[in-house]
Amino acid sequence: MSAHLASLQGRIAAACRDARRNTEDVTFIGVSKTRAAEDIRPLLAAGLRHFGENRVQEAADKWPALRAQYPDITLHAIGRLQSNKAASAVALFDVIHTLDRVKLADALSDEMQKQNRPLPCFIQVNTGDEKQKGGIAPDALEDFYAYCTKTRNINVTGLMCIPPADDIAALHFALLKKYAARLGLSALSMGMSADFESALRLGATHIRVGSALFSG
């Protein structure tokens, strides 16, 4: 298990060297969705502290026990969030990557105030304009960003995308970087098992890696 972690850390270091970037500027998020606590423990023992989950209920079932043992973990919400789950999401997670619509911004902002947990958030952008996928449409991004930050006081730190499966991921990473630069945002949550090296070349600060971490 941690053999995969060591090999991924080597690949990240190499990609950062090629791009003349510091590895310290990259947050490696182990995507632990569908993985049992027994499979997560070796990664915790090896020192990994950032994890991503895509379902609130699953995270609620798995993480409180692990967190009791490792209080310094950071849990990232990377899946589509329903606004009626905002209360548990704000209580459980430390970073939200999938802020993508007004109703969710309202619900999260209300809960973050109520719980006094102003979580850093990424706005998810639907760079491929895919109907079935979450994310704000690129042409609505600027207004949505203003709404989140000015009207709702949300701490938006960056942008996130999931490129269409049948497209060249690098094109979407470059687009996301351009959108972030326009808004003056530096954090970029992009890159998964198949394409994190390309994402790192294009400025990813948060990569989300699941299958390559757990099954090589």
Ligand X SMILES: *Cc1c(COP(=O)(O)O)cnc(C)c1O
Q: Which residues contribute to the site for ligand X (CB under 6 A)?
A: 31, 33, 54, 78-79, 162, 192-194, 208-212
Instruction: Choose between 79 and 158: whose C-beta lies nearer to ligand X.
Output: 79
Q: HSE on the CB side for 37, CA within 13 Å?
A: 13
Render 154-183 in DSSP notation, one character per residue: --EEEEE----TTS-HHHHHHHHHHHHHHH
Shortest Cβ distance from residue 160 to ligand X (Å)?
8
The burial of 126, by beta-carbon neighbours within 10 Å (0-12 exposed, 13-18 middle, 19 or more buried), is given as buried
Instruction: Choose between 1 and 69: whose C-beta lies nearer to ligand X.
Output: 1
DSSP β-bridge partners for residue 76 = 52, 95
Shortest Cβ distance from residue 4 to ligand X (Å)?
11
Instruction: Choose between 37 and 146: whose C-beta lies nearer to ligand X.
Output: 37
Spatial separation of the C-alpha atoms in residues 203 and 25, rounded to whole Å: 10
Tokens of 112: 């973050």
Q: Which of 68, 69, 108, 66 is nearest to 88 (CA)?
A: 108
Tokens of 214: 């757990």
Spatial separation of the C-alpha atoms in residues 89 and 72, rounded to whole Å: 18
Shortest Cβ distance from residue 153 to ligand X (Å)?
25
Name the residue number minimizing CB distance to ligand X. Answer: 210
Instruction: Choose between 90 and 209: whose C-beta lies nearer to ligand X.
Output: 209
Instruction: Choose between 151 and 211: whose C-beta lies nearer to ligand X.
Output: 211
Handedness of CA 69, 71, 72, 75 (dihedral sign): positive
Instruction: Choose between 110 and 120: whose C-beta lies nearer to ligand X.
Output: 120
Shortest Cβ distance from residue 196 to ligand X (Å)?
8
Shortest Cβ distance from residue 121 to ligand X (Å)?
15
Shortest Cβ distance from residue 116 to ligand X (Å)?
27
